Structure 1
Amino acid sequence: MTFLEYLSRRWEHLFELTVDHAAVTLLSVGISALIGVTLGLAVYRTDRPREIVIAITAIFLTIPSLALFGLFMPIFGLGWTSVVIALVMYGLLPIVRNTVVGLREVDSAIVESAQGMGMSRTRRLLRIELPLAWPVIMTGIRVSTVIIVGIAAIGAYINGPGLGNDIFRALANIGSPQALNITLGAFFCIIVLAILFDLFYVLVTRLTMSRGLR
């Protein structure tokens, strides 16, 4: 059976796995974005806390995924919970770093002018700093999403959802006639999913960016 024949026969199965893969990715990215942007907002003004937060989130990204999933398995059990917690950890660094960079790159003269107009710190943050930093923050979320889409496949190691289940099934049956097609089908869907997510973020960034920055 050729690869195209395999795709035509198994597209419903692959579509179901792709939907699960997208769901765990979206959930993990959403939590990472919430935590990461909040941390960035909390530390971007102060040097030492900023260095500590970025260093800790950088350490998360260096931990081998199989080791982290294996560590969480006896603590949080098999399935979604362990996978999502691990993916959130992997997704934090790009979001925290880009939030900090975006906010610190806002022209200080603009911030001082707003302060001179009587704007409070909160209003300056919401009305000026965040809108100006938004494209950089969105870039961090895009990078985080691509990382999570890839690592989510390894979550099948602990019974997580998504396309990794086909990859591990093929590895368990390596040498069989269909092992290569099963693996290629999963890889193909992961690549397509990553491209779709990237296009989605391009559109969202364009629609939510301040008109003066377009």
Structure 2
Amino acid sequence: MSLWNYLQGRQGTIAFLSYQHASLAFQTVLVGSVIAIALALLVYRLPLGSALTITASRIALTIPTLALLALLIIPFGLGVVPSFIMLAFFATMPVIGNAIVGLRSVPPNVIEAAQGIGFSRWRILLTVELPLAWPVILTGIRVSTQMIVGVAAIVAYVLGPGLGSLIFNGLARLGGANALEMALTGTVLIVLIALIFDALLVLLGRLTIPRGIQ
């Protein structure tokens, strides 16, 4: 009942914070995915380059988010810019490995068949390799999205946008009025945003993955 009372009169603020959180997660995952796929296209035909890139992406995920944020504050200050850069950086990492694995897993005989009927290198990439690799790439994007929706709460430490402010303000005031309700509201809404994004990505997969390879 106290949670319901806390929500009364705060719907506008909570909706705005939810929009900020979802928007920041969407934009950073989009940018990160584009960068990841571009990098994968550069190295996937090079065995050593692919291995090094995948290894580097896995190591990068071990960097503490707060440490990276602290470093970004020095040149960019507080607010949206360091928050966006940090989240886009981490959003890139899960997608890179999946994109490389997906592109490298395209059967050579399929590529040879496309070459045999006169497809150009770019046409093979766009109409054969990327569509066949897309299910694996999309899996990486789903993993990245779930991670970023959660990690985005951390940007509240540098005055970034989103629901993290509710969580950390609530935790900082534990024992005070509405402290638990604030933290619980932020947490539940982040989980809901993650579920909605995942459902949308599942729908995207059904719409974009060729029926024969679903």
Q: Shorter-chain TM-score: which interval? A: over 0.9
- The normalised TM-score by structure 1 is 0.95
Q: Does the residue aligned with 1:92 lie in a helix, a strand or coil?
A: helix
After TM superposition, the structure 1 = structure 2 runs for residues 1-214 of structure 1, keeping only pairs within 5 Å, are: 2-214=2-214
Q: Does the residue aligned with 1:153 lie in a helix, a strand or coil?
A: helix
Render the CA deviation track for 1:111-155: whole Å, top value 9, x for unaligned.
111111121221111111111111111111111011110111000
Tell me how far apart the structure 2 counterparts of residues 161 and 23 of structure 1 sit (CA, whole Å): 10
Q: Give the C-alpha shift of residue 20 in structure 1.
A: 0.2
Equivalent pair of 1:14/1:189 in contact (CA under 8 Å) = no
Tell me how far apart the structure 2 counterparts of residues 55 and 107 of structure 1 sit (CA, whole Å): 23
Can you give the 5+ residue segments of structure 2 that lack an aligned partner in the other structure? none
Aligned-pair RMSD on alpha carbons? 1.3
Distance 1:8 1:199, change over 3 A: farther
Can you give the 5+ residue segments of structure 1 that lack an aligned partner in the other structure? none
Moved more, 183-192 or 58-67: 58-67
Corresponding letter in the other structure for 2:151 = I
- The normalised TM-score by structure 2 is 0.95
Q: Does the residue aligned with 1:62 lie in a helix, a strand or coil?
A: coil
Q: Give the C-alpha shift of residue 27 in structure 1.
A: 1.2
Identity %: 44
Equivalent pair of 1:57/1:89 in contact (CA under 8 Å) = no
Tell me how far apart the structure 2 counterparts of residues 57 and 79 of structure 1 sit (CA, whole Å): 26
Tell me how far apart the structure 2 counterparts of residues 156 and 22 of structure 1 sit (CA, whole Å): 14
Q: Give the C-alpha shift of residue 8 in structure 1.
A: 4.2
Equivalent pair of 2:83/2:160 in contact (CA under 8 Å) = yes
Equivalent pair of 2:142/2:198 in contact (CA under 8 Å) = yes
